[in-house]
Amino acid sequence: MKILNFGSLNLDYTYSVDHIVKEGETISSLGVQTNLGGKGFNQSVALARAGKEVFHAGLVGEGGQLFFEACNKYGINTKYMNTVLGRSGHTIIQVDKNGQNSIVLYGGANQKITKDYVNKVLNDFSKGDIIILQNEINELPYIIDEAFKREMTIVLNPSPMDEKINACNLKKVSIFILNETEGQQLTLATDANGILDAMQRRFPASRIMLTLGKDGCIFRSGRKTVSQKAFSVDAVDTTAAGDTFTGFFIAGLVDELPIKDVLCTATKASALAVQKEGAAQSIPTMEEVERFRP
């Protein structure tokens, strides 16, 4: 069984500023940091950190060489990653002295996926292989349809949630991994149980993994509901908490571990991630997760 993550690769430029720039204003930044990110990239890092071989498919543009180098470092297979003309997907993030931020996202190469490219990648995958998707690349409806045709197990993290998700045939999704906000937007339910019930009514064949930040998570499959409390830690940066959870959760499913153990390991991994600054660099290794005694 192979694992394919078809997802975004983003260069994150984080500028430290005194205050978020106002309309018509020009300010100097106090510093800048470039980080590699994108939900797709972070989730591939988490899968690799959890000890799994993951193939990442996605496009980069100028400056994209950094992703190839980073993937090699983390042990992510780049066979299907391509470089296209133009800019890589990137974000311009301002962080003020109180830690508040504002973000401009430019889709760049992440929005240049073609049907031809999708076909070329998916032709190497078949029944039982896993495909992981988020909502930061174009052609998502087509990828879902083509993966379904090939009888792949489709895992969707509908994040960031927007109207493009509604263009997808979500009945083809085997496993949804979503947080409370995404769950509310998708179902219009307001609380966790309401979200799970509504998701199950709409997608009776799918498994639902609902994460609830510091309140933990609930997994629902058919009549089975299993929950796990989050571990109480001093969170300094919750960026990529969900992406870490996703990677370790899928790794546990692939190993066919009991669901309680899968949730416990994914929750430990995210508890470690929120105690560190940054996205990909905050994702722990499986050894660190196994050593963690909450």
- In the list 66, 203, 216, 281, the residue contacting ligand ADP (rule: CB under 6 A) is 216
Least gap, CB of 93 to ligand ADP (angstroms) = 16
Q: Is 270 in the site for ligand ADP (CB under 6 A)?
A: yes
**Which CB, 60 or 283, lies closer to ligand ADP?**
283
Least gap, CB of 256 to ligand ADP (angstroms) = 21
Least gap, CB of 71 to ligand ADP (angstroms) = 22
Alpha-carbon span 96 to 68, nearest angstrom: 31
**Which CB, 104 or 236, lies closer to ligand ADP?**
236
- In the list 84, 92, 198, 212, the residue contacting ligand ADP (rule: CB under 6 A) is 212
Please enumerate, as own/partner, the contacts of 138-142 that have beta carbons within 8 Å and a separation of 24 or more.
Answer: 138/107, 138/110, 138/111, 138/112, 138/113, 139/113, 139/114, 139/115, 140/164, 140/165, 140/167, 140/168, 141/167, 141/168, 141/169, 142/115, 142/118
249 sits in which H/E element: helix 241-254
User: Mask 226-245, x = binds ligand ADP (CB under 6 A)?
Assistant: ----xx-x-x--x--xx--x
Alpha-carbon span 138 to 134, nearest angstrom: 10
Q: Is 271 in the site for ligand ADP (CB under 6 A)?
A: yes
Q: Tokens in use for 254?
A: 């692939």
Q: Is 42 in the site for ligand ADP (CB under 6 A)?
A: no
Q: Is 252 in the site for ligand ADP (CB under 6 A)?
A: no
265 close to 231: Cβ distance less than 8 angstroms: no
**Which CB, 63 or 216, lies closer to ligand ADP?**
216
Compute the radius of gyration of the chain from its Cα atoms. 19
Least gap, CB of 122 to ligand ADP (angstroms) = 26
Least gap, CB of 69 to ligand ADP (angstroms) = 26
Q: Which stretch binds ligand ADP (CB under 6 A): 46-54, 84-92, 121-129, 265-273?
A: 265-273
Q: Is 135 in the site for ligand ADP (CB under 6 A)?
A: no
Number of residues that bind ligand ADP (CB under 6 A): 19
**Which CB, 46 or 152, lies closer to ligand ADP?**
46
171 close to 141: Cβ distance less than 8 angstroms: no
- In the list 179, 184, 206, 265, the residue contacting ligand ADP (rule: CB under 6 A) is 179
Alpha-carbon span 279 to 8, nearest angstrom: 14
CA-closest candidate to residue 243, choices 45, 36, 26: 45
Q: Tokens in use for 220?
A: 């629902």
Alpha-carbon span 7 to 83, nearest angstrom: 14
Alpha-carbon span 282 to 54, nearest angstrom: 19
Q: Which residues bind ligand ADP (CB under 6 A)?
A: 179, 211-214, 216-217, 230-231, 233, 235, 238, 241-242, 245, 267, 270-271, 274
